[in-house]
Amino acid sequence: MGIVAKQFLSVKPSLTKAMTQRASILREQGRDIITLSQGEPDFPTPVSICEAGIEAIRAGNTRYTAVAGIEPLREAIIEKFSRDNDLNFSADQISVGCGAKQVLFNALMVSLNPGDEVIFPTPCWVSYPDMVHLAGGIPVPVSCPPNTGFKMTPDVLEAAVTNKTKWLMLNSPSNPTGAVYSRDELNALAVVLRKYPNVWVLSDDIYEKLVYGDVEFSTLAQVAPDLRDRILTVNGVSKAYAMTGWRVGYGAGPGQLIKAMNTLQGQTTSHTSSISQYAALEALKGAQDFIAAFQSTYQFRRDLVVDRLNRIEGMSCHRPDGAFYVFPDCSGLMNKQTPQGKLIKTDSDLTMYLLEEAGVATVPGSGFLASPFIRISYATSTTDIERACDRISSTCSLLK
Ligand code: PLP
């Protein structure tokens, strides 16, 4: 009998982090590796936000805070929801945690009884199945192929609901596909959800600010206010404000759920760093103009990477509406042979080949429960995107 508990043995480390780690090892060996596997903005945190963190230290705001988060930050979150999403919350309906990740995990931990099912459309973020599993629930991945824009349709949702369903997890814009649910698409899902009053919805809006062109962001609680009593809306500062390392995320929803999440957090991490909370306060309340600059840079890069990948024989890449990922279909590259005589049978084989031969780190679609795809993050410089696409193209052309 080892030291690690049974229920933990099946939990896998995040595949995204595994790829990034392998890339670092190769880099340490002197290889020139371009990392397109990372899910974080390449921009530095804006100076005004950093200054607010520094000022928090100077002002002595370095002690324990309220478990749910400092009051001014919760007030700023309430203002944000009202300004951006037409949603009204009170302070006891807000929980601030160590990133959206902890908020999602807290919600699942306090709500799932053994055997409760959690539906989520796939491709999905790598952490959902493991989080559900860890919280004692049963993950119910529901395949949503490219012909539905990788989105869940009402009939597919209805077919997945059982009397054990506790949550539907929605993520828009999506990691890894960049798919964005329109108001109408959310309304259509709401029609089904009205029939099943025991199903709650976890809306993971972490990429809210990263939508391109005329695309508008909508969230379920805004579109279907009558369902608000069973929706937890989760967001954070990581992606919009280039603050991944500060670890601030938040959830807003029914008081009873929030209270339980805060109790769990109080017994585990207590709260996220006081310094980060003051920086997040500046992010939400201060100037927002750099978000538009981030958006236009990402949009330019998205178009560049989509155009370049579509020129590669065997790859087919949709043009996503949001986030900073593309998720090209690589079926045309399967069952081909590398110059070393190795058969590319899976998207993991392909990402390994691209890493070892082209020096480009990407993530296999299998990590997001969809194959054969690869996920490419374009949260990196235009030069690196161009160099990486050149290398992917020439390495793929060697496959026979
Ligand atoms: N949700 C999705 C879909 C993500 O892709 C990520 C991060 O990659 C998170 C949540 C977690 O974000 P945070 O940094 O706020 O924990």
Ligand 1 nearest-atom number relative to CA 40 = 8
Rounded distance from Cα 60 to ligand 1 centre (Å):
29
- How does pLDDT run across 159-192, given as a tens digit for each residue? 999 999 999 999 999 999 999 999 999 999 999 9
7 Cβ neighbours under 8 A, 6+ residues apart: 133, 134, 136
Rounded distance from Cα 167 to ligand 1 centre (Å):
18
Region 334-351: mean pLDDT is 96
Please say whether the beta carbons of 300 and 150 come within 8 A. no
Lowest mean pLDDT among 18-27, 37-46, 166-175, 384-393: 18-27
Nearest to 333 by CA among 317, 346, 352: 346
The C-alpha angle 201, 133, 188, rounded to 5 degrees, equals 25
pLDDT surpassing 80 at residue 18? no
* Token pair of 360 as six digits: 């480009």
Please say whether the beta carbons of 49 and 243 come within 8 A. yes
The residue whose C-alpha atom lies closest to atom 5 belonging to ligand 1 is 175
Q: What is the mean pLDDT of the chain?
A: 96
Output the pLDDT for position 125. Answer: 96
Please give all residues whose beta carbon lies within 6 A of any atom in ligand 1, as ranges.
39, 99-101, 125, 171, 175, 204, 206, 236, 238, 244, 249
pLDDT surpassing 90 at residue 245? yes
Ligand 1 nearest-atom number relative to CA 237 = 15
Rounded distance from Cα 100 to ligand 1 centre (Å):
6
Tell me which amino acid residue 254 is.
P
Q: Report the phi/psi class of residue 95: left, alpha or beta, with left for phi > 0 and alpha for psi in -120 to 50.
A: beta
Rounded distance from Cα 400 to ligand 1 centre (Å):
38
* Token pair of 276 as six digits: 């980060």
How would residue 10 be classed by pLDDT, with cut points 50, 70 and 90?
A: confident
Ligand 1 nearest-atom number relative to CA 102 = 16
pTM (2 decimals)? 0.96
* Token pair of 89 as six digits: 């919350």
pLDDT surpassing 90 at residue 19? no
| Radius of gyration, CA atoms only, the chain | 21
Mutate to test the pocket of ligand 1, among 125, 174, 327 (most ligand atoms within 8 A of CB): 125
b/e sequence 354-391, b meaning 16+ C-beta within 10 Å = bbebbbbbbbbbbbbbbbbbbbbbbbbeeebbebbbeb
The C-alpha angle 141, 223, 144, rounded to 5 degrees, equals 25
In angstroms, the CA 180 to CA 172 distance is: 5
Region 215-230: mean pLDDT is 98
Rounded distance from Cα 125 to ligand 1 centre (Å):
8
Output the pLDDT for position 8. Answer: 84
DSSP 209: T
**Residue 361 φ then ψ, to 5°:** -95, 120
pLDDT surpassing 80 at residue 76? yes
Rounded distance from Cα 206 to ligand 1 centre (Å):
6
Please say whether the beta carbons of 227 and 190 come within 8 A. yes
| Inter-axis angle of helices 382-396 and 289-310, nearest 10 | 20
In angstroms, the CA 255 to CA 90 distance is: 9
Kind and range of the H or E element at 343? Answer: strand 343-344
SS3 97: strand
